[in-house]
Amino acid sequence: MALISSKQHGQAFRNIQSHRQIAEQLDISEETVKKHVHNALKVLRPRVELVLLACLLMK
């Protein structure tokens, strides 16, 4: 797994967009963006928790 540099980290946070901005760029409704973000987080959260747990157990 590659780590990102502090410069890349800063760029990532500067590129954060609101649901409204994303919806405008994709020409979809803001509610659609919110639903997709919600669904993605539902899938990703348990996986991230599992990785964090594995890291803690390896120490």
Identify the pLDDT of residue 10. Answer: 67
8-46 pLDDT, tens per residue? 666 666 778 899 999 999 999 999 999 999 999 999 999
- Give the rounded distance of the alpha carbon of 6 from its chain centre: 17
The arithmetic mean of pLDDT across residues 47-53, rounded, is 91
Identify the pLDDT of residue 5. Answer: 72
Segments making up each domain of the chain, as ranges? 19-58
Residue 2 confidence (pLDDT) above 60: no
Residue 4 confidence (pLDDT) above 50: yes
Identify the pLDDT of residue 1. Answer: 47
**Exposed (0-12), middle (13-18) or buried (19+): which is 22, by Cβ within 10 Å?**
middle
